[in-house]
Every structure is written in C-alpha cells, then in structure tokens.
Amino acid sequence: MKIYALKTPIIGELSNIAFDKSISHRSAIFSLLSDKVSVIKNYLFADDTNATLEIIKLLGAKIEISKNLVKITPPKEIKEPNQILDCKNSGTAMRILMGLLASKNGFFILNGDKYLNQRPMKRVTKPLCEIGASIDGRDNGDKAPLCIRGNKLKYFEYESKIASAQVKSSLILAALNSNGCKFKEPELSRDHSEKMLISMGADIKRDGLSIDVNPLKNALKPLNIEVPNDPSSAFYFAVAASIIPDSHIVLKNVLLNKTRIEAYKVLEKMGANIEFIQTQNDYEKIGDIKVKFAKLKAIEVKENISWLIDEIPALAIAFACANGKSIIKNAKELRVKECDRIAVMVSGLRACGLEVSEFEDGFSVVSKGELKPAIIDSFGDHRIAMSFAILGLKSGMIIEDDECINASFPNFKEILKSLGVSVEN
C-alpha cells in the first residue's frame, strides 16, 4: 500500500468505522452459554472475528447472517469438532476459547497463523492446568497449536501478575462452567466480559480488583445487542485530525468505556482538541468524539498502559508530530502482541527520520523536523500497518504486508480515500 502526503485538511463525519472487535468476539463466544437465540447487530465482519464465527459453528452453533445482523442458535451441548479450530491472527479468540473449551467435554485443537502461533499462551494454559485442565502445545504449552482435553475444573483463586482482559475472560469462562473462582488483577483491564456476562444473568461480583465468579446453575439469557464502533479503530483518524492542519472530524457511535478511550485522554493531554458526546448508556456508554487539529506537545506515558496497549502504535505517530521528547514506559506487553511492537515501531520511526530510543518496556520519540517517506514492513500486524499509514499523510509512505489490516478494519483504505487521501494498492 502506498500513501501519498495529504495537502488538504481532513474534514467530515465518520460513521462507517469498524465495529468493535472485542465485543464482536465475545458476543459470538458468549452466545454458547445460552440455550436461546442471540441476536447481534453490527457484528464486525473481519478476518479475525469471522474466524470466531466459524469456530463456534464447528462447535455446533447455527449461524444466520443478514448484512450486519448475526443470529446465533447455540447447540444443546458443545460438540467435539472433527477438525482444527483456526483462530487466524486472533489472540483474543484463542485465549478466551481456551477457558471455555478446557471446561467442556471433548477434544479440541486451537491453531493460528504464523504470527499468532509465536505468541505466549502459558499465561492462560498454566493457571488452567493448575486447576485440572489438560492442555498441551509447543514449548511446553506456551505456543499454539494447542490441544485441549476438556473436563470439569476445580474451584480456584488466582491473582494475575498482568492486567489482561484475555486472561481474565478465559478464567471467568472456565469458572462459570466448573466450580467458580476468585480472580484478582493488578489493575483494571478491559471489562466487557464481566459486563456482558452479568447482563446475561451470570453470578459475577466485582469488589475493586477482585472478581467472584459462581458456577452456572442454568443457561444464561441470550444476547440482544448492538455493537458500537471500535474506539481503537476510530483512534487512527483521531490522530490524523490532530496532526493535519485545519482538520476537524467527528467519529460517530463510538464505544466510550473508560478502559477503551485512554488513548484519547493521552492525546487530549498532548493538546489535542477532543470532545466526548455521550448518546447512549445501556450495557456500555456510547457516543460521538469530536477531534480538531491542534499543535501537540510531548508527553510521558507510564500509567493505565493496559487501557491503551492497542493504541500505542498510533499514539507513537502523534509523538512523532509533537514538540519535544515523548516517552512510553511500562509497556513490555507490546513485545508479545502480533509482533514485537516496540522493536518494529522503533525501526519504522527511525526510517522516517525521527530520533528514537528503545527500552525494554517502551521507547522515546523526538521529532527532528521534516519527516521522511519510508518503506515499512508491518510484520503482519494490522495496528503497525494502519499507524504508519496515518504518518504517511504527513510524508508519504509505503506499507508492506498490508493485507493484515483486514484482521480488524477491512474498510480502512476506503475511509482514507473518502477523506481525500491518495492510496495505491
């Protein structure tokens, strides 16, 4: 993908942003806990979330699709599939499904693409195996493909060393389908799972950073939800409006959960002109986000990292256009995402003429004036590809291996073009 520098401001309203990836994955998986039909409006049809639909279909669910409406009829019992369950590039799908399948009768194999199969899974397999799960895989169960022999698990108490919504969600599902648990995390991670499961009737109680999960006595109520636009996907255009002079953009119908808009708060602290307008508050706060161009100043970010881990590559683009030295710390988790995002962002930013220092848990960025166009290898990471596409609006850019964008945001290029950006495939 080749991006040409933009000569005009970005102005307009965006309502066709990708629907929320996290909620789409969960809505498909959680539908298996009901005995009635779940209805999901605005399900995200992207490579990763499509893979989750295909997996639950192989587990016995019946799926009807009409435009952005998905109806899921769960099986009476999850069936043992006669083929491998392919999670594509989705760590969310693999890790959450592990907790569900480890607590169900049957034999299951979870696999992914070459990037997902290099990501660490022991953060989930280890606590599950400690309570009676049977899971094996490469590197002593740390790497996929993963083989799971499901069974009833013991009650457990687990204090996670990392704030991870994927770990939390996996263990909650394992506990619901077995004998319950008490789970504690070091700081609040994304809380969609708890909110959605409680709305379905699950007996889950939160006390600060601790969660008590009681086992299911009956099937849960079905989901009937409308998935909002994804704040992580919308954020690329928030950054674009903040760095292109005279830009003004409105991001419509975006999820405003506090654990999902931290990157916008950081951008606001950098001087960006941002306004949040809440329009709904059913199971989640939803609304519009207005962003206007402003001269950005440097910032140091070291708190609430789990709330903005997916947006750090795009934030780095804002750092590249800010006045001064910006620093990100406590973000070692970036090393084990779809790629080593610290190393890849540092290499790419240096290629664009920026002064960048790399740390074990982050990096610093100093703008040296005019940005240089560069050729960026995305390493199959959709967030790397889209972030450097946004920087390309300032300098021009060539992104290699850009097909990965389809993992979460299939119409990303289409939106760029609608805003006047010249894009070549």
The closest alpha carbon to 158, from 150, 167, 145, 146, belongs to: 167
Active site residue 20: no
- Residue 166 labelled as part of a binding site: yes
- Residue 408 labelled as part of a binding site: no
Residue type (1 letter), 322 = A
C-alpha to C-alpha distance for 162 and 168, rounded to whole angstroms: 10
- Residue 395 labelled as part of a binding site: no
- Residue 7 labelled as part of a binding site: no
Exactly one of 47, 86, 113, 310 is catalytic; name it.
310
C-alpha to C-alpha distance for 416 and 10, rounded to whole angstroms: 10
Q: Is 46 helix (H, G, I), strand (E, B) or coil?
A: coil
- Phi/psi region, residue 306 (left: phi>0; alpha: psi -120 to 50; beta: rest), is alpha
- Residue 335 labelled as part of a binding site: no
C-alpha to C-alpha distance for 360 and 304, rounded to whole angstroms: 18
Question: Dihedrals φ, ψ of 226, to 5°?
Answer: -115, 120
Inter-CA distances, 204 with 188, 216, 236, 303, Å: 15, 10, 34, 27
- Residue 99 labelled as part of a binding site: no
- Residue 401 labelled as part of a binding site: no
- Residue 118 labelled as part of a binding site: no
Beta strand segments in 151-284, E:
156-159, 181-184, 204-207, 210-213, 224-226, 248-255, 273-281
Beta strand segments in 256-333, E:
273-281, 285-292, 300-301, 325-328
Beta bridge partners of 248: 11, 292
> Which segments are annotated as binding site for phosphoenolpyruvate?
21, 91, 119, 166, 341, 383
> Which segments are annotated as binding site for 3-phosphoshikimate?
21-22, 26, 164, 166, 310, 337
Query: What residues are labeled active site?
Result: 310
> Which segments are annotated as binding site?
21-22, 26, 91, 119, 164, 166, 310, 337, 341, 383
